[in-house]
Copies of this chain bind each other. A is one copy, B any other.
Amino acid sequence: MKTPRSAATRTKLLEAARDIIRARGYSATTVDDICAAAGVTKGSFFHHFPSKEQLGIAAIEQFNETASEIFRSAPYTSRPDPRDRVLGYVDFRISMLTREIAQFTCLLGTMVQEVYATHPDLRAACDQGMSEHVADLTRDIQAAKQRYTPDAPWSAESVGYFMQAVLQGAFIFAKAKQDTRVAVESLGHLRRYLEMLLGQPETGKEPTPCRT
């Protein structure tokens, strides 16, 4: 962080790591791969990061910060009704599915699958990052619950985790099929479920039948 050049190199390494790991996973990504993509030598790599694992942790943190900013500055966050914000989040994620696969998938979800049993620090970083994002979501869900269905038997947090689970599963099918249609339809089902959980908007008209 001292010189601008140093910060730029560090950022290039983190971005290269983010992109390559999202495409190939953590284990299959070599330090040489990351250095080549960042246009940096291995000596420089190990000047900035003490190990591949520490780079992984830094990449997770940076990915989470970037993601937080994207969602914090997304248009739906300014809607006054928390229910609209929750559904707007889902719509926003559906709209992201038009990009390349490696551009909308989750670095943390990809990594934790292969490192949870062997790299405790990486696992913990992924857990923390995903839980923070769920906590952000949970705030809007809780507000919507309070307003529309305060006595519902489910917890706002469990719905936040459920939303992330659907997203992570949708990413897996997008990768397996090299196609986002299943992912789009799955997020559509998620949206329908949330509409049902959070009830109808405050206009007070009859709820649509459950079956539709």
Contacts and interface: CB of A to CB of B under 8 A. Distances in A.
Interface of A: 23-28, 101-102, 108-110, 112-118, 123, 126-127, 130, 148-149, 152-155, 158-159, 161-162, 164-173, 175-178, 182-183, 185-186, 188-190, 192-193, 196-197, 199, 207, 209-212
B25 A130 contact: no
Interface residues of chain A: helix, strand, loop or mixed (majority) = helix
Given A114-B25, A114-B28, A164 B173 contact: yes
A77 to B, nearest CB: 23
A62 to B, nearest CB: 18
10 nearest interchain CB pairs? A165-B169, A25-B114, A27-B27, A169-B169, A27-B28, A168-B169, A116-B175, A158-B185, A162-B189, A127-B176
Contacts of A117: 23-24, 101-102, 175
Given A24-B118, A101-B117, A153-B212, 18 more contacts: A23-B117, A25-B25, A25-B26, A25-B114, A25-B115, A27-B114, A28-B114, A102-B117, A108-B176, A110-B114, A116-B175, A127-B176, A158-B189, A165-B186, A196-B196, A199-B210, A199-B211, A207-B211
